[in-house]
Amino acid sequence: MNFGPLVETPEARNIFQKLFLELYSIQEPIIQLNHIMHWVRRFGVETPNLDNSPTLVLEGFFYNTSTPVPTASKITEYLEMGHQKGVHQFIIPTVRNNADTKVIESHGFQKIPWFIEAIYEINNGVDEDLRSQLGGKRLREILRLIRMAERDYELEFYTINQILA
């Protein structure tokens, strides 16, 4: 099972965009990177020119595990919109490692190895996969933590249709 396509659906991306805009109290996905990459400071990385420039965040919003490569026409549309608003820095976060990036590279985008892609594909069921990959002792510890969390927290699951309603 591959979760990449699910988070790359237009419905899911719209949810991630709404979350992003709401979380940062902005009307459109234009923000200084130092507002969203605040955790970088813990590593002592100083990039004031990048951090303080208004940046248009295209398509991905850091919450989705992967972002599809936008079409050439969509990239052109974003670039024109950004330039009209005085933006000269653009980012497409979380593009998959194996994605064909020629179209974004042809528009001047460069790969920045910032996020580590982690896709888990189920082979024999989650419990069995964890047992074979982590060992029985670690799986039992994880299951114990799950039971504690279930005892202490209420959890509700929603389908994509319920979220969109």
User: Under a CB-based contact definition with an 8 Å cutoff, are residues 20 and 63 in contact?
Assistant: yes
- Whose tokens are 């813990």? That residue is 42
Q: Does 115 map to a domain?
A: no
12, HSE (Cβ side, Cα atoms, 13 Å) = 18
User: Do 135 and 89 share a structural domain?
Assistant: no
**99-144 pLDDT, tens per residue?**
899 999 999 998 887 766 666 778 899 889 999 999 999 999 999 9
- Whose tokens are 């799950």? That residue is 146
Number of independent structural domains in the chain = 2
In terms of DSSP bridges, do strands 54-57 and 30-32 run parallel, antiparallel, or are they unpaired?
antiparallel
User: Do 26 and 78 share a structural domain?
Assistant: yes
What mean pLDDT, rounded, does the chain reach? 84
Q: Does 112 map to a domain?
A: no
User: Do 27 and 87 share a structural domain?
Assistant: yes
User: Under a CB-based contact definition with an 8 Å cutoff, are residues 6 and 163 in contact?
Assistant: no
So what's the pLDDT on residue 121?
77
So what's the pLDDT on residue 116?
67
So what's the pLDDT on residue 14?
85
User: Do 100 and 24 share a structural domain?
Assistant: yes
User: Do 146 and 67 share a structural domain?
Assistant: no
**17-41 pLDDT, tens per residue?**
888 899 889 999 999 888 876 666 6
Distance (Å, whole) CA 79 – CA 90: 8
pLDDT band at residue 72 under the 50/70/90 scheme = very high
Q: Does 111 map to a domain?
A: no
Q: Does 17 map to a domain?
A: yes
Distance (Å, whole) CA 55 – CA 30: 5
Whether the predicted pLDDT of 77 surpasses 90? yes
Average the pLDDT over 72-82 and give the result: 96
User: Do 86 and 23 share a structural domain?
Assistant: yes
Amino acid occupying residue 29: P
Would the pTM of this model clear 0.75, i.e. be above it?
no
User: Do 92 and 149 share a structural domain?
Assistant: no
User: Do 137 and 87 share a structural domain?
Assistant: no
In the chain, the DSSP E strands lie at: 30-32, 54-57, 89-91
User: Do 137 and 98 share a structural domain?
Assistant: no
User: Do 131 and 88 share a structural domain?
Assistant: no
Owning domain of residue 65: 4-105
